A and B are shown apart, each in its own frame.
Chain A
Amino acid sequence: MNDTVIPLAYLFAAACFILALKWLSHPTTARRGVRTGEIGMLVAVVATLFHLQIVEYRWLSVAIVAGVALGVPLGLLVPMTAVPQRTALSHAFGALAAGLVGTAEYYLRQPEIDRTTMIAIGLEVVLGFLTVSGSLIAAGKLQGTLPDRPWVYRGQNVVNVSILGIALVMVGILVVDPGRAVLVPIVILLSLVFGSMLVLRIGGADMPTVISLLNGFAGLSASMMGFVLDNELLIVAGALDGSSGLILSITMCKAMNRSFTNVLFGGFGAETTTGHVERRPVRSIDAEEAAFFLDAARSVVVVPGYGMAAAQAQHKVRELTDALQHRGVDVKFAIHPVAGRMPGHMNVLLAEADVPYDRLFDLEQINSEFPQTDVVLVVGANDVVNPSARTDTTSPIYGMPILDVDAASSIIVVKRSMRSGFAGVDNDLFYLDKTQMLFGDAKAVIGQVLDELSRLPTKEAAG
């Protein structure tokens, strides 16, 4: 009975997981997807509790209760602005579970382990623990407890690759001679060190790629656990998570026109631009003028970037766009794939601020519309609107697909100062004749524009 019911429950769970992801393809069905995933998970967990191998329920009950006690506040109370950190932290937790199970399985089975199982255990442990430390460092950087800038030194890549190489050689030795138990803690330690070193050298704006990659690693590690335990459900779920993470990280790389190796080993954004800011003249306006410009427009496109998230300006931005819409202005949002600190970051923040999702447009959808746009309002975005990505072959961001905001009739850039963006390159957009700079903290400045706008007389007939 047990032999049939449990595998069938697992099969049901695997089907639920696939449907869950399928329904995530549209916002109207996405919540159904979550429900389905939950049902699959519940069925799998309950079925497992009846597994014949489980004879002692005391400790696992304690662990489940503790996990729920931590999981509920992490799921319900974490503010949307902290979603990137929370995601990184959950990658660490998932990978920790896989790494620990792999370690325990090794000690329970040694000294006689067949080669394929040992390979799976080895990969599970290496991938698991490098994801644990890498994700913790990523979470620290996103939270701001660790510096955002990459930590780079000469010969770093050689050191990092050697650390990983030594760990993999030790796994190789274990495959040939599984009895060398002393190697396992060393492999764990080296994986932890490699994971930290890898992420320490990655800067804030590359986080979308890295966080996706860590997501993929955590999934692959769970899949390897499936090979160790001969559990097909684990293999399926891990492969789904793994492919999701890898697809997202490739999408992020493409959105920056950079390769994996360049992101992981390039140390992008490390060179701090020390006093290299050109003294070219820019046009600066105040909130009153900005309100006037926006009110006179028929169509406005807002381009949010990490600066909006950092200033927590999304609610003010939404209020401003609401006010403009009431005054007959058509407002859209243009979202670059790597805007923010994780894939989809801007969308979640704007959704939280109650911006309807059919006002949010991605790069391909919106780029053709800029020539017909009266005013583009750039809020805390920089590199993703830099025209030199199209023209300047010497620029570090050359070839990166950008939002063609320079095609619009006029541009207002909300920015703290003239400091360059993450890539450390000057932005020609700011010096165009049709560009106006509105300096200040995004939240405060947008608030002022909103005040000024409310003082303007309402238009008679729009257009």
Chain B
Amino acid sequence: MSQALEVGLFIFVLASFLGYAVITKVPGLLHTPLMSLTNALSAISIVGSLILAGAGEKGFATLLGSIAVFAATTNIVSGFLITDRMLKMFRRRQAPEGSKKGTSSRPTS
């Protein structure tokens, strides 16, 4: 096994465990933003796409690389924007709640 592969596998397995630990803490309330955020993050494949598109290779490779850059950029931009749009909507009950007819003070047994 090559050194690079060994390091890669280590990182892959550890990152998966870390992902498990972090993501199981995300409440069901935020599962839709979670999906759109992880989607934006995985568009980090733009890194590989940029190198491919800019390496000055044969036309075919540059074409595939450019399409990949386009697709990844779309995901980054739209993914972050829509996640933030969603999260902006999640708000707590306002402190001065409409009529204070004891709605929030009612004991919830």
Flag whether A93 is at the interface (Cβ < 8 A).
yes
Residues of A within 8 A of B101 (CB): 326-328, 462
CB closest chain-A residue, reference B98: A326
Closest partner residue, chain B, to A117 (CB atom): B5
Beyond A100-B68, A344-B29, whether A234 also contacts B45 by CB under 8 A is: yes
| The one of B1, B20, B38, B72 that contacts A97, using a Cβ cutoff of 8 Å | B72
**Complex alpha-carbon distance, A232 and B97, angstroms:** 50
Which B residues touch A22, using CB under 8 A? Answer: 22, 25
Total count of chain A residues near the partner, CB < 8 A: 124
A54 contacts B50, C-beta separation under 8 Å: yes
A231 to chain B, nearest CB (A): 6
Residues of B within 8 A of A358 (CB): 92-93
Which of B1, B12, B82 is close to A235, meaning CB atoms less than 8 Å apart? B12
CA distance A231 to B19 in the complex (A): 18
Cβ-neighbour of A101 out of B19, B36, B48 (below 8 A): B48
Q: In the assembly, what is the distance between CA of A329 and CA of B1, in Å?
A: 66
Main secondary structure, interface of A, reads: helix
CB distance from B88 to the nearest CB of A (A): 7
Chain B residue numbers with a CB within 8 Å of A327 are: 101
Interface centre among B38, B42, B47, B108, by most chain A C-beta atoms within 10 angstroms, is: B42
- Given A67-B74, A98-B45: A76 touches B23 (CB 8 Å cut-off): no
Q: Enumerate B71-96 residues with CB–CB distance to A below 8 Å.
A: 71-94
- Does A87 belong to the interface (CB within 8 Å)? yes
Given the known interface contacts A18-B18, A101-B49, A330-B106, the answer about A41 and B27 at a Cβ–Cβ threshold of 8 Å is: no
* Per-position binary interface string of chain A over residues 353-365, scored 1 when its CB falls under 8 Å from any chain B CB and 0 otherwise: 0101111101000
Residue numbers in B under 8 Å from A237 (CB-CB): 41-42, 44
CB-nearest residue of chain B relative to A255? B28
Task: Please judge, given known A-B contacts A30-B30, A72-B77, A75-B78, whether A245 and B38 are in contact too, CB under 8 Å.
Answer: yes
A217-270 CB contacts (< 8 Å) to partner B: 218-219, 222-223, 225-245, 247-248, 251
- Given A30-B90, A347-B28, do A229 and B48 touch, yes or no (CB 8 Å)? yes
Q: Flag if A226 contacts B103 (CB, 8 Å).
A: no
Chain A nearest CB: distance from B13 CB in Å? 8
B103 — which chain A residues lie within 8 A by C-beta?
325, 328-330
Enumerate chain B residues within 8 angstroms of A230, measured Cβ to Cβ. 4, 8
Q: Which residues of B contact A (CB under 8 A)?
A: 1-2, 4-5, 7-8, 11-12, 15-16, 18-20, 22-57, 60-94, 97-99, 101-103, 106, 108-109
